[in-house]
Amino acid sequence: MTSRAVAFTRKLRFQDLPETVVEQAKLCLVDLMAAAAAGMETAMSRIIRKHAAEVFGGGKAGVRMLLDGRRTSWPGAALAGGITIDAFDSHDGHVLTKGHAGVAILPTLLALADGETRVSGREFLTSLVMGYEIAIRAGIATHRTCKDYHTSGSWNALGAAAVVARWLRLSPAVTREALGIAEYHGPRSQMMRCIDFPTMVKDGSGWGAMAGVSAALLARDGFTGAPSLVSEAEDVADLWADLGTRWRIMEMYFKPYPVCRWAQPPITASLGLLAQHGIKGADVTGIEVETFHNAVRLATRAPKTTEEAQYSLPFPVAAAIVHGRVTAREVDGAGLRHPRVLKLAQEMTLTEDLALTAEFPARRIARVKLTTKDGRVLASEPTEALGDPERPLGPERILAKYRETAEPVLGAARAGKILKEAMQMDGAKADARAFVDLALAPVKAQRATKRPSNSRTLAIAADD
């Protein structure tokens, strides 16, 4: 089956992509840049960028880090960019992988493109799509064949390796070695450890990007790797048989809220109850959530860091009820110390429903009951998060989410230019060089730009 993955890596062309896939790729690109912009304001991003600049070398011959401008090596830039995006948990994902592909693919592509004088926009998008298709299938295969729930870095490393192999025009044999090295060296870290104890290690995607880039460079130089079981084993052959006919990138979800996807169904349900019954957060005195097992383990009630807030269920649900929204403001800084949010989160009841657990990961469902001051108990229907292909946000809301997230960090002018360049990248003569430069130039402080006090896009559950 590696022959299918390798052939797809090398032979995919822009003209092979359906128009819907091209449009989806541009939305993924924009969504990733929004998360990167917000991630730049986190300590997690600052630490990793400093580390990459100091430890991973590069010098004058190096490439620039995402939104940073300092130079490092290809693997260092992929590491820093992946962790910067991962620092703000609002980027696209795939339900069956239980994780994220693009977070490793985009920083890899930007590192490769930085050294080029001209970058075909169509080739940039084609490589992005190819990386998603390889990574997503590797992710589904990993969870099918491995007992533990591994972080995204364990499998999106293969997507990053495939992108480098395509860019460097490695031979089929060398590309096969690259995929094998990437799988073997990818960070097979247990995701539930970070769910139970949220820290900056998060989803491992930066390390996946770094491992994938390094794998391809090692393979180019003659380093050999064990065969990639997630792309070669017979028990996953069906996942690779439809490369180029089934486009897994079309199965991506887009997050309306910058927290773990598992916490989003009860946020959606809670905001829906407020809107349905015409009540305010101040009217709520108690919250009960029934959901699947893994979501119940998002149990941090008084987060001290943004990582703890992003991997919490009680806190963002309480924030949604109190503020009517969940944005960057609610899961970082002063938002972590809001007394009423903390009180509601502390008193919230979380219960596992075995039937809902059985639906995971294909479906993530929650039911919410709100108790009001006048003694009413308001109960939601079983609710899934918005943003899945079956419940899409739609392009307008995804683009609005980009503006609301990116503009406070990048400024309206630069954020607008990035959006314009991304959305016209599929033009016949489009050059992605301007996008690459905008994505890699250092961020200047945007103190004059305030985050919106109420985000229509990030609080959309209330009117859906």
Domain boundaries, the chain: 2-251, 261-384
Domain 2-251 has CATH 1.10.4100.10: yes
pTM of the model: 0.93
CATH of 261-384, one of 3.80.30.20, 3.30.1330.120, 3.40.50.300, 3.40.50.720: 3.30.1330.120
pLDDT at 444: 82
Phi, psi angles (nearest 5°) of residue 291: -160, -170
Cα separation, 95 vs 115, in Å, equals 35
In the chain (464 residues long), the average pLDDT of successive 10-residue segments reads: 86 98 98 98 96 87 94 97 97 96 98 93 98 98 90 97 98 96 94 91 96 98 94 94 97 96 97 97 97 97 96 98 95 95 98 97 96 97 95 96 96 98 97 97 64 40 40
Residue 277, CA distances (Å) to 2, 48, 283, 344 in order: 55, 45, 11, 19
- In sequence order, the β-bridge partners of residue 312 are 299
pLDDT at 445: 57
Question: Of 26, 36, 28, which Cα lies nearest the Cα of 122?
Answer: 26
pLDDT at 47: 97
pLDDT at 87: 96
Cα separation, 238 vs 4, in Å, equals 11
Cα separation, 196 vs 313, in Å, equals 12
Q: How far is CA 88 from the centre of its chain?
A: 8
Question: Of 329, 87, 117, which Cα lies nearest the Cα of 107?
Answer: 87
Burial (Cβ within 10 Å: 0-12, 13-18, ≥19) of residue 351: exposed
Dihedral over alpha carbons 20, 22, 26, 29 (to 10 degrees): 110
Please say whether the beta carbons of 433 and 116 come within 8 A. yes
pLDDT at 57: 84
pLDDT at 1: 53
pLDDT tens per residue across span 250-281: 999 999 999 999 999 999 999 999 999 999 99
